[in-house]
Amino acid sequence: MDELLKLCGYEELEDKEDIQRAKRAFHKLGVTDEDVERAKRNIRKYYDVELEGIRKMLGIYLRDGVNLVLAREDGRTNIVYAIMAEGFDLIASAFTSKSEEVYVSWPESTFEILFGPTFFDKQHEVLEAAEARWLKEGIVSHCANVKMLAGLVALDLIPRPDLLIVSGFLCDVAPKTVDLMHEFYDVPMYYFGTCLDREEDEGPEAEKERVALAANQMEELVKNMVEVIGIEVTEEDLWKQIEAKKDLKNNMAQIHGLLDNSKKPLISATHGSVIFLLQRLAANWSNVPRLIDTTSIIYNELKERYDKGYGVVEEDAPLILALNPVSFTDPRLEYMIEQLGMAVTTEIDLFFPDGRRAPEVEETDNVYVKLCAFLQDSKTRKLADRFNIFKESAKKLKVDGILCRGHVGCRTIYGDIMVMKDALGKELGVPTMLLEVESFDPRFYNHEVFKRRMEMFKMMIESQG
């Protein structure tokens, strides 16, 4: 147990209380000695734990899971769960900064990492619990991301929440799942979103209307949370949160800059989503100093690698742009691709118009409009915009091929990728490959099939010279 915690950045002398809390939480989660040994092997295999920043990053996720499991013991009287709730983390931190009784979590994200193949490899138990309720299994299935939230609550691995938050920016199944949980468990819920029905030829005024609607919905969300939680949060509080998180935002931007500008990958693609999902954990105000410190360490360690010319694959290795979510829970595909001598750069929610890695936000005195900057990113755009964003990103990165991951749990993502695959290849003059995946369900991974497909893809790239 102690060895695992050290791999996750726990310091023996400084973190005695943290270590005891972890042991109590492991007991509640049913984590066995065998699970711990498996986690140690997996972490050493898939994560670059020689880097202090990566160890500390894993520790942040582990602490979030521990704190969530023990939340009621800690006197948290207002536990809020968010799922697919884009833009909510800053609102959440405004509430958690006001009271230690409030705890906010994206449980599915944290436990997809902790229970996935990089850690304890126990995710199947949670998914099966959700499927035993109302969520379907199989290839024509519900996304495993929503199954994780439903399964964790069904198994009583995490406390029953006091409020559920969901948005409709990305997914229609998540709001339906949260609505069912609201009915089954008698838990208040709040939904926010905007109009996603867009015409291909719509102009900037339509985009302003879309942002205005989203901003209005987020303002209503804050009012509802104030009523349910009983803590006042003002617009001034939200502006303070934006200012307080500038260092975290800048650290993330610097990491992006290094990774994009390096001729060789500085760190395995297995770290991709895990690093950038850290921003969600800023929903709890107490995490922010640790997040700023950890991302600063990660940047400095990667900068040292950059200066030394270090890379996880050879400089002349083919560079693949992998579209659609990198698995939040299962790094085996990215790991295998790198073992075959190819480099992978991934898209999750990190590409913006003109191939930028950050949104351009006009000056505004409306804090809720400011919070809607995420509406510029690739995953919330209409198909034509997504195509252009990916095209420009691929050009800037000078990729040799595009891997189109067809996330079978999402009809929107899968439908878009089927349309874009051939068009991107034709436009860019590079090979493309469609690979069916389930971005949140490790049971879908088939090593032999995926390996043969990736070997074939490498041959296609090499044949083009």
pLDDT tier, 45 (very low <50, low <70, confident <90, very high otherwise): very high
What tokens were used for 95? 């509430």
CB proximity list for 167: less than 8 A, separation 6 or greater: 84, 85, 86, 87, 88, 174, 175, 191, 192, 193
Q: DSSP letters of 82-131? A: EES-TTHHHHHHHHHTT-TTEEEE-HHHHHHHHSSTTTT--HHHHHHHHH
Distance in angstroms (rounded) separating the CA atoms of residues 225 and 236: 16
CATH number of 73-234: 3.40.50
Task: Identify which has the larger pLDDT, 345 or 190.
Answer: 190
Q: Could you tell me which CATH number the domain at 313-465 has?
A: 3.40.50.11900
pLDDT at 137: 66
H or E stretch covering 432:
strand 432-437
Query: Is a pLDDT exceeding 60 seen at residue 227?
Result: yes
Residue 140 predicted with pLDDT over 60: no
359 pLDDT higher than 70: no
Strand partners, 169: none
Whether the per-residue pLDDT at 349 is higher than 50: the answer is: no
Mean of per-residue pLDDT scores for the chain? 88
User: How do residues 241-285 score in pLDDT, each as one tens digit?
Assistant: 999 999 998 998 898 888 878 878 899 888 877 887 888 898 899
pTM, full prediction? 0.92
* pLDDT 10s digits, 289-300: 999 999 999 999
Distances (CA, A) of 106 to 34, 272, 280: 27, 18, 7
pLDDT in tens, 19-30: 889 999 999 999
**pLDDT of res. 196:** 67
Residue type, 143: C
